[in-house]
Structure 1
Amino acid sequence: MSRRVPLVLSLLAAGALAAIVLGLAAGSSGWGFAAPDIVWRIRAPRVLAGFGAGAALALSGALMQLLTRNALAEPYVLGVSGGASVGALSAILLGALGGAATEWTIAAGAATGAFAATLLLLALSWRVLARSGISGVQEAPVSLVLIGVMIGSATSAVVTLLLTFAPELQLRGMVFWLLGDLNGATHWSAVWAALLLTLALTWPWAHELDWLARGDAWAATLGVPVVRRRRQVLVASALATGGAVATAGAVGFVGLVAPHALRLLGVRQAPWLLPASALAGGSFVVLADAAARTVAAPVQLPVGVISAAVGVPAFLALMLHRPRGSSR
């Protein structure tokens, strides 16, 4: 383990605490701690939901990059977020026909869509994973990406169709959800359950993910059950992504950049990269949401807009100023 890793992890833990405090202090009227009822009933659940969603997306991104051996992989490459979007928007439209859609019905619709997309992904990739075994060193990761892209393209077409037929009163809320929105998010327990379950399913054998990243044949010689590990990572990543999207909407960028930025900072080994990615992603979304609530107060911006506006330049700067030979 590099000497830099403990320092980065300590800074991430301190940053997470600072982000939570700032998130609790941010409100639609500006900065400052409000009455205790407002803090604990409105702001605290929103902060917990945002941190859990960001942590789950970043963890899922780290898993996908290790699984596909591709630094450009992210949670949405699975198509799970597309399925969640279809389910959530369908719930909003059904609510418009039979009454106002509640937060719980939208989350249930998103979870149902994510589960359906996961089942489809597993059904289509099952034979690919089994067929490639340890001989298809490049076939399985590339096939997984292609299957995920095709599912994502199909769900994107359905989302466009739903937006086309959506009533104008519901259109704004649907677009905000697609951009990522934590306004009114209080069901934080679901995404935290998905996050902890994903960590429980992957962290005990995280060192094997480093071996898989070096190649299937290499991992197999070290005793790694290659096919089973691929499937476990796939299920765990889909679980984390589905929980995050069902809670906060389709917040982009976090799952791609957070684990990659940590690698540039020297955190490359999977047992440290997974929890570090969760801390970084959770802190980033909480800070982005705090900015979304205050930068144009009393108007609240979609958190996905802030995350991209702040994260893209920061990541590009990190890439341009990294030391030579620091990437994997």
Structure 2
Amino acid sequence: MTLKPPPLTLALLLTALAVPAAFALGLLSGSAGWGWPSEEIFWLIRLPRVLAAFGTGAALALAGALIQLVTRNPLGDPHVLGVTSGASVGALLMLMLAPAGLLLAPELGAVLGALAAMTLVFALAWRSMGRGLAPSASPGTVIVLLVGVMIGAACGAAVSFMLAMANDQQLRNIVFWLLGDLNGAALWWPVWAATSLALLLAWPRAQELDWIARGDAWAWTLGVPVAKRRRLAIFAACLATGAAVATAGSIGFVGLVAPHIVRLTGLRAARVLLPFSAVFGGVFLVLADTVARTAIAPAQLPVGVISAAVGVPLFLMLLLRRRA
């Protein structure tokens, strides 16, 4: 008889193996080939890029796990629900309109844009989410997804308008940034700080988020201030998403892939789902960036292409299984 390790032990074992392996691959890989870089390249390029990739992946995965909990929707993801697109619009507006040299202007714009997009999703899809009137109220998965797609399309139109207004010097950098690009992402600490703050806000209320995920009425009977906790979780998710978008641009499906990988280990309670989702999301994006740098070396792919190549099939599989 084969004995399976407990879920927490399995997750800790995978973390202990995956994190060092991902960092080693990220530090050893480059568009010029594999190998240990010079000291200057290590400190100025590779280490900041790996740290930025891990922080961005952790932020998006944490945001995805929070969105899935508060919407009771296993397909929830900042990119799918239009939150990433809203953050992109906010960051680009701040880049174009804010005074030159304003500290953390893209980060602030991205957080505000993500909050605006998520507020629209909840405002337009609230009725389809059942308003929590019964513990078994349907989360209205299809309606929520459609609302998110429409908000993402509207944000895409706004981004297209801003691209049309950009000059030739700005255009290439903006396009690669919108596709999700970690090339030149030297400022890694804001996304780490934002992710830590988001986790610090959400993790102490993890059990209450589990009750909300079972239904608003269920949570109300246990004395949970549902609206307040939902607003807190949304703010934490938007804070993390905004910092991720400001760091690496629009990268999709990390928030969908990482929480489901954690659930495959058997961990479903929010108190372990949230931190392990962040860790696995960071590992996933570091590995995706490694592939993006080496797949067609010396040229580099945007990391958003690699994350979408993994996330889209998973999204379709989950959607078809849910419909079935």
Scaled by the length of structure 1, the TM-score of the pair is: 0.82
Stretch moving more, 232-241 or 205-214: 205-214
Aligned residues between the structures: 312
> Residue 70 of structure 1: CA displacement?
0.7
Q: Deviations over 1:73-108 (max 9, x none)?
A: 10135543223322444466679xx9xx99x88x63
Residue identity opposite 2:89 in structure 1: V
> Residue 209 of structure 1: CA displacement?
1.4
CA change 1:226–1:144 in 2 (3 A) is: farther
> Residue 254 of structure 1: CA displacement?
0.6
> Residue 10 of structure 1: CA displacement?
2.1
In the alignment, structure 1 residue 58 sits paired with structure 2 residue 55: no
The aligned residue for residue 308 of structure 1 is 308
The aligned residue for residue 41 of structure 1 is 44
The aligned residue for residue 17 of structure 2 is 14
In the alignment, structure 1 residue 71 sits paired with structure 2 residue 69: no
Residue identity opposite 2:223 in structure 1: G
d(CA) in 2 for partners of 1:241, 1:317: 23
Residue identity opposite 1:296 in structure 2: I
Stretch moving more, 232-241 or 146-155: 146-155
Residue identity opposite 2:157 in structure 1: A
Equivalent residue in structure 2 for 1:135, among 122, 133, 136: 133
> Residue 150 of structure 1: CA displacement?
4.9
CA contact (8 A) 2:87 2:241 kept: no
**Matches of residues 137-286 of structure 1 in structure 2 within 5 Å?**
138=137, 148-286=148-286
> Residue 311 of structure 1: CA displacement?
5.0
> Residue 298 of structure 1: CA displacement?
1.4
> Residue 277 of structure 1: CA displacement?
0.6
> Residue 233 of structure 1: CA displacement?
0.6
d(CA) in 2 for partners of 1:123, 1:75: 13
CA change 1:9–1:42 in 2 (3 A) is: same
Residue identity opposite 1:297 in structure 2: A
> Residue 67 of structure 1: CA displacement?
0.7
CA contact (8 A) 1:212 1:218 kept: yes
d(CA) in 1 for partners of 2:59, 2:134: 29
d(CA) in 2 for partners of 1:124, 1:292: 32
The aligned residue for residue 111 of structure 2 is 114
d(CA) in 2 for partners of 1:203, 1:124: 23
Residue identity opposite 2:133 in structure 1: S
Q: Deviations over 1:37-77 (max 9, x none)?
A: 21112111111111000001001001101111111110135
CA change 1:243–1:308 in 2 (3 A) is: same
In the alignment, structure 1 residue 85 sits paired with structure 2 residue 82: no
Residue identity opposite 1:243 in structure 2: A
Structural RMSD (CA): 3.4
Stretch moving more, 4-13 or 25-34: 4-13
The unaligned stretches of length 5 or more in structure 2 are: none
CA change 1:290–1:120 in 2 (3 A) is: closer
CA change 1:263–1:223 in 2 (3 A) is: same
Give SS of 2:250's match: coil
Scaled by the length of structure 2, the TM-score of the pair is: 0.83
CA change 1:57–1:210 in 2 (3 A) is: same
d(CA) in 2 for partners of 1:159, 1:89: 8
Stretch moving more, 33-42 or 56-65: 33-42
CA change 1:202–1:117 in 2 (3 A) is: closer
Q: Deviations over 1:223-256 (max 9, x none)?
A: 2111111111110110010011110110111111
Residue identity opposite 1:226 in structure 2: V
d(CA) in 2 for partners of 1:279, 1:113: 22
Stretch moving more, 115-124 or 194-203: 115-124
CA contact (8 A) 2:256 2:315 kept: no
